[in-house]
Structure 1
């Protein structure tokens, strides 16, 4: 694969990392649909397509990446690395699929779960003394709360328990935040979202700078069979190539929309961390929020996020998110023209004033 200059910007590294370096070879890493490599299975040894995707994401996050079949498969592999009965802390406001996975593991006696407010840093520092895993998500899904990753990671390293600190970086992406540089042990992504960027694949990835952790994650991937598909890895790598441009454009639009929403009479609160393509805003109640969603024409009412299209969802309507404000709408900003998006939002909001 291409040697990457550490002085190159993230925008450049996203383009060149994981590319074949032979001057007479293909410009891009080919799609390699293979189950067997000589005397080994691809499930155990990986494929060139996986490796190229892992190289690119690892370069952006500052560690060694391991790709999985989905974001939840990634979280499952992390749990697999814990001893039986381990205590795990998770934010109360976080992705429902992650919380459901942890609850399932707790019901089976695999782990013990503590649910903490994401922004109560003191509670997380205290949990570092008794937990084996601190699972952080920042910004959180869907309330866009920002956690103090550096302070929590520092507390984890100072105490005797030395819990594993994992950060779900799906919303921030490596362009907005690099948790490993803040002291985290592992950073995870649902590559289905911003890394892939086109709403056409399922994939997960974990990145760590610890060689032993990398081996444990890859062994878990092999044993539970959570291997990525060749096509998915190929498409995700293509998505990573444009991530910096997509992130910049979508972030600029998100900031504009957040500012205008904050000044709209129908909006009670805007939740935007100041960067990135994700934001949320509160309307008076569930009925108002549902009517706004129904009146949008350009913005898609959909549960996923991180694609080139802008999507909206009232998260409290979904099972497992009853803690979310009933009128909260989560907005994933895509690449449409900003003024077109604002006209769509303004028209829908005007209809419920």
Structure 2
């Protein structure tokens, strides 16, 4: 078996043959024979799904956006279902859950990401465990093995097993494969690290190989709602996936370098880093200090998205959906710029805060 990094380059390619393209072609078709492409897909979607499925070890289904994957999964739930979700997690997911809760369709239970005992307890009576690790934006690491094992135990002792879903956007398929730990479904915002160039919107679900029923249900939800991926976006995402290994390795190396620098800076009160990956968060004294640092940066972009080749930063607490996040927390998505240049920019922006706190 080839390594994950190699499979990211090989999976989903056409068979090698004289006169045939080396890469999957872009096939813009609204109909495939007598079927709508909305119902049966296109060769471009299929190639992308094959590649992601290979990396995650399951059955992939592409969607028009990451949020489309969230709503498709929620579509699987019966009325009155109970959903457990981390207190700190992607605001869009929590917004979709809150909307369904306010309509009386589901009950939402919020749990601290690292309170493993509370998650184990939730596995006994919740219908869905929505897991996210590392969490957005606090970068907490959840104990996947313990929580997913508790879900299996619930199936044996109560005759009901919660659906287990893991948002793997931050870790990427190269950082962890939740299906191998026992998850039912993995979701990705392909817009982020998989696409990698801040030029597309796409999402993907991957279901465990033995859960073909879930895979089909998600395809049905995609068809019914019209949340189909664009052909160009699928092609761009597949191209981005090919370089995920080298991009993630370089960005992770730079992230570790910046964590070391930030950890020793007098203006920084706390650094949050799970030990690997390209996402870093750090806290300043308060929200005003964080806003001043964002405004002072020249190389690092102040932007809401992440996972691109450019380094971005954002004070998440300024968003209504993330008002509960520590006011001085800054989320940094590390890109591919020269590490020394990035630190020079950050150090310069932080210098003013050092003066104000000294």
Please tell me whether residue 8 in structure 1 is matched to residue 2 in structure 2: yes
CA–CA distance in structure 1, aligned partners of residues 187 and 256 of structure 2: 25
CA–CA distance in structure 2, aligned partners of residues 202 and 110 of structure 1: 28
Q: How many Å apart are 1:220 and its aligned residue?
A: 0.7
Aligned counterparts, 1:11-160, within 5 A:
11-24=5-18, 25-159=20-154, 160=158
Q: How many Å apart are 1:113 and its aligned residue?
A: 0.8
CA–CA distance in structure 2, aligned partners of residues 100 and 12 of structure 1: 37
1:186 aligned residue = 185
Aligned counterparts, 1:215-226, within 5 A:
215-226=216-227
Q: How many Å apart are 1:163 and its aligned residue?
A: 0.4
CA–CA distance in structure 1, aligned partners of residues 115 and 352 of structure 2: 38
1:162 aligned residue = 161
What are the ranges of 5 or more consecutive residues in structure 1 without an aligned counterpart? 1-6
Counterpart secondary structure, 1:320 = helix
Stretch of structure 1 that moved more, 294-303 or 105-114: 105-114
Q: How many Å apart are 1:185 and its aligned residue?
A: 0.7
- Root mean square deviation of aligned Cα: 0.7
Q: How many Å apart are 1:22 and its aligned residue?
A: 4.0
1:4 aligned residue = none
CA–CA distance in structure 2, aligned partners of residues 200 and 176 of structure 1: 23
1:326 aligned residue = 327
Counterpart secondary structure, 2:353 = coil
Aligned counterparts, 1:225-304, within 5 A:
225-304=226-305
Deviations 1:37-77 (A, max 9, x none): 11100110011000000011111111110000001100111
CA–CA distance in structure 2, aligned partners of residues 111 and 201 of structure 1: 31
CA–CA distance in structure 2, aligned partners of residues 268 and 108 of structure 1: 40
Q: How many Å apart are 1:109 and its aligned residue?
A: 2.0
Q: How many Å apart are 1:306 and its aligned residue?
A: 0.2
CA–CA distance in structure 2, aligned partners of residues 72 and 250 of structure 1: 25
CA–CA distance in structure 1, aligned partners of residues 165 and 39 of structure 2: 24
Under a length normalisation based on structure 1, what TM-score does the superposition of the two structures give? 0.97
Counterpart secondary structure, 1:244 = helix
Deviations 1:171-224 (A, max 9, x none): 000111111111111110000000000000000000012211111111111111
CA–CA distance in structure 1, aligned partners of residues 43 and 335 of structure 2: 30
Aligned residues: 347
CA–CA distance in structure 2, aligned partners of residues 109 and 236 of structure 1: 36
What are the ranges of 5 or more consecutive residues in structure 2 without an aligned counterpart? none
